Amino acid sequence: MTEHPKVTTESASAPVPFIDLAAQRRRLGPAIDEAIARVLAHGQYILGPEVRLLEADLAGFCGAKHVISCSNGTDALALILRAKGIKAGDAVFCPSFTFAATAEVVAWFGATPVFVDVFPDTFNMDPGSLERAITAAKQLGLRPACVIVVDLFGQSADYDAIAPVCDAHKLWILDDAAQSFGATYKGRKIGTFGLATATSFFPAKPLGCYGDGGAIFTDDVELAELLRSLRVHGQGVDKYDNTRIGINGRLDTIQAAVLIEKLKIFPDEIEKRDVIARRYNEALKDVAVVPRVMDGLVSTWAQYTIRIGNGRRDGVAVALKAQGIPTAIYYPKPLHRQTAYRGYPTPGNGLPVSDAIAQEVISLPMHPYLAPELQDRIVNAVRAALT
């Protein structure tokens, strides 16, 4: 046996990372190490100068007037609800087909998450189901207060369709953009929709730091000031003047320094993700239901998620795993089927799409540095498992 074929065989079955953060680190070279070293040198670990610099960079990036960085995406959502005084008796409408944090924060304040169904092709909120959820909430004697719109897997929800329903019922919009910061809706960047937007810098999100982090975006100056106070224990003129009940919700200076460097290459990374997603779509559209991006939208492709029906999804996952290719199921169980959330209201006709797609979705490796050869290996494995 010569050495060459052996190496080829090994690399053809070498484990594929689901998200390759190491490749990004190689690209950034010493930039992040140097940014962290600068923080270590000045020593302002809490709300140091990088935090304000990052907030300005993020505002410039998306066009929001005010950016308040914070500890994580969940706290970003919670701080907004807290600032708006969400309380027991309030109905807060949100999808069931999302990560638990979206509904969790509503329950924190004693308010009631009311679940809304999604469209099967974009995975995002269906305004018709929102109407039915509002009716259901009113019948239960709840006060409709707010809609948490989730931009799932990186694609913005259809704001032009959802906003009229919210306006008609005087509901304000919170955009859960934990997966979609960087995305564009009809020429406008995420971060500028609704009253406020929350995002996450969890390492696996499209723009991730090296730990937990998050941010809030709003054009409302009074809300921004309130959020800055709530982020630091409800501080007034200084940190020993407490004018309201808040939390410890700051972003670490070191994480801000990391994000400043990563934001510089983020637009290019979004383009690379889009090229990879289009390539997947072309190669898989005849064997699976591939994700649809609405006209005029740019997704960040936080996940590349296809649908495989007829009970064949789990077999595909097993077949890929045997070839060193990881997959993930986002989400195997919609929230209204989860032990912690199944007591909360749903629209009169239930959530048939959320229930159906939970059985069919499967996410493939997706990151900006997925080489064409690796992508071909993934595509061929999916096709082989299905044909």
- Report the interface residues with ligand PLP, using CB under 6 A: 72-74, 98-99, 101-102, 150, 176, 178-179, 200, 202, 212, 214
Q: 330 or 369: whose CB is closer to ligand PLP?
A: 330
For the bound state, the minimum distance from the C-beta of residue 29 to ligand PLP, rounded and expressed in Å, comes to: 27
3-state SS of the chain is CCHHHHHHHHHHHCCCCCCCHHHHHHHHCCHHHHHHHHHHHHCCCECCHHHHHHHHHHHHHHCCCEEEEECCHHHHHHHHHHHCCCCCCEEEEEECCCCCHHHHHHHHCCCEEEEECECCCCCCECHHHHHHHHHHHHHCCCEEEEEEEECHHHCCCCHHHHHHHHHHCCCEEEEECCCCCCCEECCEECCCCCCEEEEECCCCCCCCCCCCCEEEEECCHHHHHHHHHHHECCECCCCCCECCCCCECCCEHHHHHHHHHHHHHHHHHHHHHHHHHHHHHHHHCCCCECCCCCCCEECCCCCEEEECCCCCHHHHHHHHHHCCCCCECCCCCCHHHCCCCCCCCCCCCCCHHHHHHHCCEEEECCCCCCCHHHHHHHHHHHHHHHC
For the bound state, the minimum distance from the C-beta of residue 100 to ligand PLP, rounded and expressed in Å, comes to: 8
For the bound state, the minimum distance from the C-beta of residue 303 to ligand PLP, rounded and expressed in Å, comes to: 9
Distance CA 90, CA 137 (A): 9
Residue with the closest Cβ to ligand PLP? Answer: 73
Q: 193 or 202: whose CB is closer to ligand PLP?
A: 202
For the bound state, the minimum distance from the C-beta of residue 125 to ligand PLP, rounded and expressed in Å, comes to: 12
Q: 180 or 229: whose CB is closer to ligand PLP?
A: 180
Q: 159 or 381: whose CB is closer to ligand PLP?
A: 159
> How far is CA 63 from each of CA 58, 116, 180, 192, 372, rounded to the nearest angstrom?
8, 29, 15, 7, 34
For the bound state, the minimum distance from the C-beta of residue 230 to ligand PLP, rounded and expressed in Å, comes to: 16
Distance CA 385, CA 372 (A): 20
Residue 113 phi/psi, 5-degree rounding, is -70, 130
Q: 184 or 255: whose CB is closer to ligand PLP?
A: 255
For the bound state, the minimum distance from the C-beta of residue 179 to ligand PLP, rounded and expressed in Å, comes to: 5
Q: 102 or 129: whose CB is closer to ligand PLP?
A: 102
Q: 300 or 375: whose CB is closer to ligand PLP?
A: 300
Distance CA 173, CA 146 (A): 6
Q: 182 or 214: whose CB is closer to ligand PLP?
A: 214
For the bound state, the minimum distance from the C-beta of residue 162 to ligand PLP, rounded and expressed in Å, comes to: 16
Distance CA 14, CA 16 (A): 6
Q: 58 or 374: whose CB is closer to ligand PLP?
A: 58
For the bound state, the minimum distance from the C-beta of residue 73 to ligand PLP, rounded and expressed in Å, comes to: 2
Distance of CA 151 to the CA centre of its chain: 7
For the bound state, the minimum distance from the C-beta of residue 205 to ligand PLP, rounded and expressed in Å, comes to: 6
For the bound state, the minimum distance from the C-beta of residue 228 to ligand PLP, rounded and expressed in Å, comes to: 19
Q: 55 or 212: whose CB is closer to ligand PLP?
A: 212
